[in-house]
Each structure stands twice: as C-alpha cells, then as structure tokens.
Structure 1
Amino acid sequence: MEYEYTTFQAQKISSAQSRDNTSPDNFAQKDISKEENPATATITVNAVEIPELTEQEQSDRLFLKRKVERAFFEAGKALMELRDRRLYRSTHATFEEYCKDRFGYNRSRSYQLIDAAIVVDNLQKCPQFVDILPTAEGQVRPLTKLEPQEQQEAWPTAVEETGGKVPTGRIVKDVVQRIMERTQVPNSYQIGEVCQILAKDNPELRGKGGCWCIVVAVHDFSCTVRIWDGELTAGLKHLKSFDYLPVECQQMQEICDGVPQERS
C-alpha cells in the first residue's frame, strides 16, 4: 500500500506540473521559435536619444584631436632637444643608443621624427598659413627634400589638390617631385672632379658634411662619389666643387687611391 500511495502521489505531482506549464507565466517563457517564422517576427528596439555636445565638449574634442594629430610633431621636438642638449649622456654613450634602448627607434626613425618636426615648425611660419597641418610623419617626409620656402609652397598645394583636406603622403610626394623637377638644373660635374659634401637637410649624409670626395659617376640629377670609406650617391645641391685644376684633381685622385692601400 505504501508503494501504491507513492505512485499515486507522483502521478498527482506530475499532473500538477503539467497544469502549471500552461499557466500564463510559463506560456510567456515558452520557446515559440518553432511556432513562428523568424523572418516575420517583430523585434522591438528602444530608441536612445544621444545628447548634443556642449560648446565646452566641442572645444575639448578639438583640443584632444589636435593633440593626437601633433603627437609625431611633439615627439620630434622632444627627440631634438634630447639630442641637442645631450640629455642621454648619463646613461648612454650616443643619442642613437639611447633612442634604441628607450623608445625602440633606430637611427633612421629618430631622425625622421626630428626632421618632420623641423618641417612642421617651418609650415607654421608660412606667410600664407593654412589651418590644415600634417597629422602623420609620412605626410611630411617628402617635404624634407625641399628648401624651407619650397616646403611652404608644396604643402598648401597638396592641401588644395585634396579638396581642403589633409593630403596623403603619396599626394605630397607627387607635389614635391614636380617642384624638384621644375627647379633641377643640368648636371655639370665631371668624373674625377673633387667636391665637398654638404649634408644640410639630408639625414643620409650626416657625419659626412664638409668631407671631400671625388666624382666617379655622373647621373641626371646626382653624382656617385668616392669618400674615405666607400661610395655614395648625392644630389647636386649636396655637392660643392672645389674648382681644382685638372692636375690638382689628379693628385687628389692618387691620394684617394692610396687610402685603401694604407688601411690594408
């Protein structure tokens, strides 16, 4: 009898649960995905009103936006001051070693940022100042090949060609190339001519400014020259002839030829 009572009780509980499943609350929780077509189901989305920016918020946004855009410029200025004041000297022997250790910048990247800061400073002094300034170092890099007054011409031209927006590095490069082609003069140097290297505005020639060299190949707008430790290619504006006589150039050539023999 105890077993029968237990079975009856279980059936009663099961029946009660079955009735409960048809209650309004359970019906609301019931999975209806099999009864309704998902494609025709109605989804209610509550609209959220986004408040307009206040004048102060708009001012803050503009300030922060310009701060982000000028990050490369500020980095270049800071690197230049670290280098010029030799503030690295207590921990590192050279500026290049300091940048590599502290910032992960190789020599080329450090000087790219420094050169970019110099260009942006120059653009800010432009008589025909434009509100749109470079926002990335890559946009400035082509301008480093130009003289300061040419930079002030090239950047507004690139901005105009972009419809008043910040131009890409490619557009700036195209403008710079056109200016360089316009201002280039025929190469009058001759093989064997003795020249002085002018390193101004050319990071690749740093450490070689003022050194003498001998022209070994003449190109349209550059020369390949030989110096004490090898050969390099320099643009015409980075060379200055000593105007030696042919016999003097020959003597310098003999001296240059003898340098490797003395080192070997």
Structure 2
Amino acid sequence: MKKLILTAAALILSAGFAAAQSTTVRMGTEGAYPPYNFIDDNGQVAGFERELGDKLCEMEDLTCTWVTNDWDSIIPNLLSGNYDTIMAGMSITDERKKSIDFTQAYYPPAPSAYLAMTPDADIKGGVIAAQTGTIQAAHISETGATLAEYATLDDTIAAVKNGEADAVFADKDALKPFVGTDGFQFVGQDIPLGEGIGIGLRKSDTELKAKLNDGISKMKADGSLNKMIKKYFGDDALTFSN
C-alpha cells in the first residue's frame, strides 16, 4: 500500500511538473530580418517581433525563450520540435497552411517591392534576387525573370552590389533601410502578397494558438499593436483598423 501511495504521489508530482513546463514556450525566429527581427550588439534577439512576442507572453502568462534558426529550415525545425512558434516575418499563405498553422495576422498584408541600384534595372526579364523559401521567391519563379535565391536578405543585397543580380525582391518594409545607400532605390510597382504576417505553430498546438490569438486581439483592440508597428516601421506603416 505504501508503495502504491508513493507511486501515486510521484505521478501527481510528475504531472504537475509537466503542467508547469507547458507554460514555457520557445519562440523561433531568424534573427536576420530587421526591423522584424535581428541580433543586437549584445548578441540577443531584438526587433519588432521580439518586443511583440515578449508582450504576448507576458499577457498570457507564458514563460518564453528565444531560439534562432536559419530561414530555409525554419518550418522543418518547428515540426521536429526544436521550438514551439515561428515569429520571423512569415507571411500566412495557403501553401504554408498545408504543413503548419498560424495565428491571426499581427502585421497587415504588406507590399513587396523591387530594390535596385539603377532606375532602369530589368525587373521583368533580368536576374532577381530573393530569399530562399519566401513568398517573394515563389512570385519571381512565376514571372519571366530569372530567380536567384539566397539564404538571407543581406545576401540578396550583396548579390546586387556585386553584379550577380539586377534587383532584389522582398518585403518593402525590410528593404527600406537600404534605400539611399550605394544608390539603392525602389523600382517598379509594389506587389501585395500573402495574408499578413502571423505566428506559425504546429497544428496540434491549439491551446497555445488560442492564447496567442487572445493576446493579439487585445492588442489590436486597445491600439497597442498599431503603436508598436509605428515604432518600428514608421508613422506611415500599415496598421489595423479598430
């Protein structure tokens, strides 16, 4: 009987420990896509998504840690359990929904744009650099241009600088910091892609999704999400209507 009581007690303690651990959420990001996410001078994840993610975790009583991962394997490593969410400027698309789930958007559908060093860059039939695995790369592959894929946004910029590509095609907000440096300028028309940016999760993590959606909804309702967007993207940034 004593052994049975001890065993039952051990199971209760084990269950309690598991429940406590369930509130710890590993937030996965790239750390190379400013101002959404980047690594600061102290070697820490910083940017819009770090501040937003920390705020959501605080609101929903979650203990969150941050993990960085290369973009081209960010979904496979979510599915394999290396972290619990993706907050990495990831647009919500039907293709991605086949393998993962998303929260509601925490950033509105934003335009993508071409960035080049000359105003007459051939964006229709030339070589266009885009980050591997992005909706921008998928778009270029369906146009008459030649797609050149690179691991990071910085690599796409470098490709234009050294003549490997005629232009970069990426999220316009991510490209804005490069405008005016080395002759970089926007060319052509903006192109809207995706359904906005959301937090990626495994399809089985329905409770975590509900918590994060609750936090996002509250921040949209009280205007704090729009305020945070403007802090990182400027007063003319796209925001949510109340």
Q: TM-score range by the shorter chain?
A: under 0.3
Bigger fraction of residues in helix: 1
- RCO higher in structure (CA 8 A, sep ≥6): 2
Which protein is bigger by CA-based radius of gyration?
1
> TM-score with structure 2 length normalisation?
0.26
Bigger fraction of residues in strand: 2
> TM-score with structure 1 length normalisation?
0.24
